[in-house]
Chain A
Amino acid sequence: MTIIEAPDQGEPDVVVHGVLDTSHSGPTRLVRAAVYGAVGLIALLALGLTVGAGQARLGIGSGSDAHVLALSGKVVVLTLGAVILALAGYQAWQGFGRRATPYVAGVVALLFLVAFLAWVSLHGIKATVDVQGLLQNAIGLSVPLVLGAMAGVMCERSGVINVAIEGQMLAGAWAAAFVGTLAGSWFGLVGGVAAGAVMGLLLALFAIKFMVNQVVLGVVLNVLAAGLTGFFFDAFMANDATRYNQPDLLREWDVPGLSHIPFLGPLLFSANAVVYLTYVVIIAVDVILFRTRWGLRTRAVGEHPRAADTVGIRVLALRYRNVLVGSAIAGLGGAYFTIGSVGAFSKNITSGNGFIALAAVIFGRWSPRGATAAALLFGFASALNTRLSILLPSAPTDLLAMLPYVATIVAVAGLVGKVRAPGADGEPYVKQ
Chain B
Amino acid sequence: MRLRTSRQTWDSLLITVLAFITALVISAILIAIADDRTRSAAGYFFQYPQDTFTYAGQAIGNTYRALFEGAIFNPRTAGNGTAGTLGPISETLTYATPLIAGGLGVGLAFRAGLFNIGGQGQILAAAICAGYVGFHWHLPVVLHLVVAIVAGILGGALWGGITGWLKARTGAHEVITTIMLNYVALNLLNYLLKVKGFQNSASGQAISFPVDHNAQLPLLLGSGLRVHLGIVLSVLAAVFFWWLMKYSRLGFRLRAVGANPLAAKTAGMNVERSYLAVMLLSGAFFGLAGVSQILGTNDALTNDVDAGVGFDAITVALLGRANPVGTVVAGLLFGALHAGSANMQQYTPIDLVQVVQGLIVLFIAAPAAIRAIFRIKARGASTGAELAKGWNG
- Restricting to A401-432, which residues have a CB under 8 Å from any CB of B? 401-402, 405-406, 408-409, 412-415, 420-421, 423-428, 430
- B179 at the A interface (CB under 8 A): yes
Q: How far is the CB of B346 from chain A (nearest CB, A)?
A: 12
For the complex, would chain B's binding face be called helix, strand, loop or mixed by DSSP majority?
Answer: helix
Contact with A along B347-364 (1 / 0, CB 8 A): 011111111111101100
B191 touches A412 (CB 8 A): no
| Chain A residues within an 8 Å CB radius of B351 | 226-231, 233-234, 347
Contact B392 A220 (CB under 8 A): no
Closest Cβ of chain B to A314, distance in Å, is 20
Give the distance in Å from the alpha carbon of A413 to the alpha carbon of B164 in the complex: 12
B50 to chain A, nearest CB (A): 23
Question: Would you call A161 an interface residue if the criterion is a C-beta within 8 Å of the partner chain's C-beta atoms?
Answer: yes
Query: Whole-angstrom distance between the alpha carbons of A346 and B284 in the complex?
Result: 35
Whether A161 pairs with B349 at a CB distance below 8 angstroms is no
- A83 partner residues in chain B, CB cutoff 8 A: none
Flag if B173 contacts A412 (CB, 8 Å): yes
Q: Which of A39-47, A178-186, A351-359 contacts B (4 or more CB under 8 A)?
A: A351-359
B83 within 8 A of A: no
| Contact call A232/B172, Cβ cutoff below 8 A | no
Given contacts A230-B349, A412-B173, contact A210 B389 (CB under 8 A): no
Nearest CB in chain B: distance from A232 CB, A: 7
With a cutoff of 8 Å between Cβ atoms, the chain B residues found around residue A121 in the complex are none
Give Cα A210–Cα B381 distance, bound, in whole angstroms. Answer: 13
Instruction: Give, as a whole number of angstroms, the nearest-CB distance from A207 to chain B.
Output: 9
Q: Does B181 contact A (CB under 8 A)?
A: yes
Interface residue tally for chain A (C-beta within 8 Å): 59
* CB-CB under 8 A for A206 and B369, given A220-B315, A223-B315, A396-B191: yes
**Among B175, B361, B391: residue with most chain A CB under 10 A:** B391
The answer to whether B311 and A223 touch across the interface, beta carbons within 8 angstroms, is yes
- B176–A427 contact, CB under 8 A? no
Could you say which of B66-74, B182-190, B241-249 contacts chain A? B182-190
Interface membership of A383, Cβ < 8 A: no
User: Out of A227, A401, A414, A421, which one reaches B354, CB within 8 Å?
Assistant: A227
Cα A424 to Cα B388 in complex, Å, equals 11
Residues in chain B near residue A358, CB distance under 8 A? 176, 179
Chain B residue contacts of A211, Cβ below 8 A: 366, 368, 383-385, 388
Q: Which of B334-384 contact A (CB under 8 A)?
A: 348-359, 361-362, 365-366, 368-369, 372, 381, 383-384
In chain B, what residue has the closest Cβ to A420?
B392
Instruction: Find chain A residues with CB under 8 A from B365 CB.
Output: 206, 212-213, 216-217, 220
Bound-state Cα–Cα, A147 to B3, Å: 52
Asked whether B80 is an interface residue with its Cβ less than 8 Å from the other chain, the reply is no
> A405 vs B383: C-alpha distance in the bound complex, in angstroms?
35
For residue A351, give the distance in angstroms from its CB to the closest CB of chain B: 11
- Contact A426:B166 (CB < 8 A) given known A235-B34, A359-B176: no
Q: Which residues of chain B are near A217, meaning CB under 8 Å?
A: 362, 365
| CB-defined contacts of B117 to chain A, threshold 8 Å | 215, 219
Residue on B nearest A228 in the bound complex, by CB: B355
Q: Which chain B residues numbered 301 to 344 have a C-beta less than 8 Å away from chain A?
A: 311-312, 314-315, 318
Residues of B close to A424: CB separation below 8 A? 390
Q: State whether A227 touches B390 (Cβ < 8 A).
A: no
Produce 1/0 per residue, A194-230, CB < 8 A to B.
0000000000001001111111110111111011111
> How many angstroms from the CA of A118 to the CA of B115 in the assembled complex?
44
- Whether A1 sits at the interface, judged by CB under 8 Å, is yes
B387 adjacent to chain A (CB < 8 Å)? yes
Provide the bound-state CA to CA distance between A352 and B183, in Å: 9
Query: A413 and B183: CB pair below 8 A?
Result: no
Within 8 A of B (CB), among A229-255: 229-236
Q: Are B391 and A421 in contact, with the CB atoms below 8 A? A: yes
A residues less than 8 Å from B30 (CB atoms) = 228, 231
Q: Contacts A223-B315, A230-B351, A235-B349 hold; do A405 and B181 have CB atoms under 8 A apart?
A: yes
Most buried by A among B314, B352, B392: B392
Q: A375 on the interface (CB 8 Å rule)?
A: no
* Closest chain B CB from A164 CB (angstroms): 11
**Interface hub of A159, A216, A221, A399 (most chain B Cβ within 10 A):** A216
Task: Enumerate chain B residues within 8 angstroms of A220, measured Cβ to Cβ.
Answer: 314-315, 318, 358, 361-362, 365
A409→B389 contact, CB < 8 A:
no
A233 to B369, CA, bound (A): 28
Query: Is A117 in contact with chain B by the CB < 8 A criterion?
Result: no
Q: What 0/1 pattern do residues 159 to 186 of B give for CB contact below 8 A with A?
A: 0000000100111110111011101100
- A65 proximal to B (CB < 8 A): no
Cβ contact within 8 Å between B170 and A227: no
User: 1/0 contact trace for A335-356 toward B, CB 8 Å?
Assistant: 0000000000001000010010
Q: List, in ascending order, chain B residues with CB within 8 A of A1's CB.
A: 381
Q: What residues make up the interface of B, taking CB atoms closer than 8 Å to A? A: 30, 33-34, 115, 117, 166, 169-173, 175-177, 179-181, 183-184, 187-188, 190-191, 194, 311-312, 314-315, 318, 348-359, 361-362, 365-366, 368-369, 372, 381, 383-385, 387-393
- Across chains A and B, which 3 residue pairs bring their CB atoms closest together, nearest first? A426-B390, A227-B354, A234-B349
Can you spell out 27 A-B residue pairs with CB atoms less than 8 angstroms apart? A1-B381, A209-B368, A210-B384, A211-B366, A213-B388, A215-B175, A219-B117, A219-B314, A220-B361, A224-B354, A224-B355, A227-B351, A227-B353, A227-B355, A227-B357, A231-B348, A231-B349, A358-B176, A362-B176, A396-B191, A398-B188, A401-B187, A405-B183, A406-B184, A409-B166, A413-B177, A427-B390
